[in-house]
Structure 1
Amino acid sequence: MKNIFLVVVLLLSVTPSWSQKGQTIAYIDMEYILENVPEYLDAQNTLNAKVTKWKKNLDKQARHIEVLKSDLANEKAILTKDLIEEKEEEITIKQEELRRLESLYFGPKGDMFSVRKQLVKPIQDQVYNAIQSIVKRKKYDFVFDKSSELVMLFSNKKYDISELVLSIINRTRLIDEKNAKKVAPKKEFTDKQKQVLAKKEAQIAKQLSARELKKKAIDEKKKALLDKREALLKKREEQRKVLREKKEALRKKREQARKDKNNN
């Protein structure tokens, strides 16, 4: 974009005959436009709420993993080698699940990317359509975005068409709302939209089912570990009891032996 702008400036400055042919340039401030489109602010709030929810879920799972690590470190001295390996495997499974969930939320093709595209793209299309309408009417040859990486060393406010873009978006919205009140849709969704929604719901249900099965398997494994640990502790307690009984029997035997010796 920088190179395009510099080329345009150079052409305008060194080729007067070209600029005299009616070449016109305008610019917009995309950040300003989006901040004044209610749908964009609603979309950002919706996305931010989802991101906050996802982060809380990830933080919760990360804290759970830290608890498992801490418990293992504290109990390692009384656990068998098999139990230690099983607990380490459980922690590894949890860590892998956390990484997969993080990728599912924030990966290149994750939920955040999909939701942002779903929420923001229609608004970007509104802006683009408004600009196209202005370009056709005003016969602009170039329209730059002031808020992009394009370096504008100077910008004359009279060439700023941001307010014009906003007015077209607002007017279009009012017309759409007016038409929507006049003509009620025959059906809520088209057949194609229903198919897309059904497919999306099936994918979500499949993901939830897979997560539930994985969670169930982990819970069952955890229960088995706890049962095994409880059995081990019970066995050790029984062994200690037998040892105490043997010691008590030996003490009584020695005491009886001393009494018999004294009597003789």
Structure 2
Amino acid sequence: MTKKIFLFAFLILGFTSIAQKALKIGFVDLEYILENIPEYMEAQSKINAKAISWQNDIEKQQKEIEALKVDLTNEKALLTKALIEEKEEDIQIKELDLKNLQIAHFGTNGDLFFLRQQLVKPVQDIVYNAIQDIAKKRRFDFVMDKSSSLLMLYTNKEFDISELVLNSIIRSKKIDAIKEKQDLKENAVENEKDDAAEINADNKADALQEKIDDRETKKEALKKKIEDQKAEKLRQREAQKKAIEEKRQQRIIEIEAAKKAQQEKKENN
């Protein structure tokens, strides 16, 4: 406690000596701010769940090692020296593995540290940026965290910017959400335009194809009509030729009959 009071007094004296003007000092309650940010609480829940899982795994292995030690103690009188040394070596290896596992999960640069960096630091950065922004706008020389280990003997709520920071973060999130919504809407409009343009292009292509198909159909119909007309004319010509030939043959028959009749008449006379 004495050290904290001394540290706080030293900081105040140091701040006073920095400039001749009166210093404007604000403070925040980082713990309060973070607890009111859903993303931070969600990150903390994930971290706690992971830490509990790792700790349970460590405790399980610790119990297994303790059980091996108990078994060795109970069986020691029945084992040879070589077997005892072998089992003791196995236990030492397991203890070393357990120690390495503890360091890997909870060490200075362990899994827990990197998990905090991954999940919590982005939220903390947002908070720190909001604090800096408000501090600059309100011309604070220093902003302290009253939830930290630094002892705050007295705080005036007038200089507590915790709510301002929290509201700034919430407002920024709303603005980002609106912007994201607008971007999605604009993208949707652009996609609709693209779809409409694509549909229009498809419709034009279909219309053009229909014209081509219609032209081909008409062309085929005209070709068939011409061929039918030619066939009809040919049929009529053949019919005329046949009729003329029939008349000619009939005329020949009539002439032959007339000649025959005259010949018979002469013979009868």
* TM-score bin (small chain): 0.5 to 0.7
Partner of 2:237: none
Q: Say whether residues 1:5 and 2:12 are aligned partners.
A: yes
Residue 108 of structure 1, CA deviation: 1.0
Report the structure number with the largest CA radius of gyration.
2
Amino acid at match of 2:12: F
1:37 Cα deviation after fit? 1.2
Q: Which amino acid aligns with 1:72?
A: L
**Matched AA of 1:175:** I
1:1-264 paired onto structure 2 within 5 Å: 2=8, 3-8=10-15, 10=16, 18-19=21-22, 23-183=23-183
- Map Cα deviations across residues 41-72 of structure 1 (whole Å, 9 max, x no partner): 11111111111111100110011111111222
Corresponding letter in the other structure for 1:97: D
**TM-score, normalised by the number of residues in structure 2:** 0.60
Q: Give CA-to-partner distance per residue, 1:134-182, whole Å, 9 cap, x none.
A: 1232222222222223333221111111100000111111222333344
8 Å Cα contact 1:25/1:159 also seen in 2: yes
Q: Is the CA contact (8 Å cut-off) linking 1:5 and 1:150 kept in structure 2?
A: no
RMSD: 2.3
Whole-angstrom CA distance in 2 between matches of 1:74 and 1:153: 59
State the percentage of identical aligned residues.
51
Structure 1 residue 118, shift from structure 2 partner: 1.7
Take 1:149 and 1:5, find their aligned partners in 2: how far apart are those partners? 16
Query: 2:132 & 2:73 partners in 1: Cα distance?
Result: 64
Measure, in 2, the Cα distance between the counterparts of 1:72 and 1:152.
56
The aligned amino acid for 2:50 is K
Tell me, what secondary structure is at the counterpart of 2:120? helix
- Number of residues of Structure 1 aligned to a counterpart in Structure 2: 178
TM-aligned CA deviation for residue 7 of structure 1 = 3.2
Whichever residue aligns with residue 21 of structure 2, its letter is: W
Q: d(CA) in 2 for partners of 1:97 and 1:54?
A: 14
C-alpha contact (below 8 Å) 1:69/1:91 kept by paired residues: yes
Higher mean displacement: 52-61 or 28-37? 28-37
Unpaired segments ≥5 residues, structure 2: 1-6, 188-269
Q: CA deviation at 1:90?
A: 1.0
- For 2:93 and 2:56, how far apart are their aligned partners in 1? 20
Do the aligned partners of residues 79 and 71 (structure 1) sit closer, same or farther apart at CA in structure 2, a change above 3 Å counting?
same
CA–CA distance in structure 2, aligned partners of residues 93 and 31 of structure 1: 42
Cα distance in 2 for residues equivalent to 1:38 and 1:108: 27
Deviations 1:69-101 (A, max 9, x none): 122222222222222221111111111111110
Name the CA distance, whole Å, in 2 between partners of 1:11 and 1:73: 67
Following TM superposition, by how much is the alpha carbon of 1:11 offset from its aligned partner in structure 2, in angstroms? 5.5
Structure 1: which 5+ runs fail to align? 187-264
